[in-house]
Structure 1
Amino acid sequence: MNSTTLISVTSFCESHAIEPKFIETLAQYEFVEIIEQEKEQFIEEECLATIERMMRLHYDLNINMEGIDAIQHLLNQIHELQKEVVLLRNKLNP
């Protein structure tokens, strides 16, 4: 069974001094998934790196959500192209 660690949105936001609305907005853009249990919201531990990257883009570089969405889309394209390059290299050099 796949066991994941859940982190309270409230405690995460308090420890990072951000508004919970930021996490909700990330969920609306489908960058992260909010899990509700017993009337409390949680995020998976695996999402922390993504959330912290989005926080830096938004708060440190002052990029709005539409800009973050575009950046994320481009990063995903780069990742897919990198996987394709590796696959093609493996085909050329067995």
Structure 2
Amino acid sequence: MNIENLIPLPTLSTHYKVEISFFNNLIEMGLLEIKTIEETQYIHPDAIFEIEKMIRMHQELAVNTEGIDVVFNLLQKIEDLQNELTSVKNRLRLYES
């Protein structure tokens, strides 16, 4: 991957006014993937939407990183259940026709 497409973690920290330790906690919990190149941590631009949600939860709702982990796991389960429900509905339509 080209380094020009990646966002340095310190730049992200400065832009969102969030400490690096917040991102490190997210990384430790598996909520954030990083790529380390020459001792600098980078984030893929596709992750920005999710990162912004996590930052809003942390800053505006005072949710700690453990709470963010729980919320994101529940959101993932909801999405999985919605996909399964759609699949079951599609199969049911086959039998109804």
Q: Give the TM-score taking structure 2 as reference length.
A: 0.88
Corresponding position of 1:93 = 93
Corresponding position of 1:31 = 31
Q: How many residues get paired? A: 93
Identity score, percent: 31
Q: Which runs of 5+ in 1 are unaligned?
A: none
**Aligned to 1:93, what secondary structure does the other structure show?**
helix
RMSD over aligned CA atoms reads 1.6
CA-to-partner distance for each residue in 1:10-49, whole Å, 9 max, x for gaps? 1111111111111111101101112110111101111111
Larger radius of gyration: 2
Partner Cα separation in structure 2 for residue 3 and residue 92 of structure 1: 46
Corresponding position of 2:79 = 79
Partner Cα separation in structure 2 for residue 73 and residue 33 of structure 1: 16
| Deviation of 1:69 (Å) | 1.2
Q: Which runs of 5+ in 2 are unaligned?
A: none
Q: Give the TM-score taking structure 1 as reference length.
A: 0.91
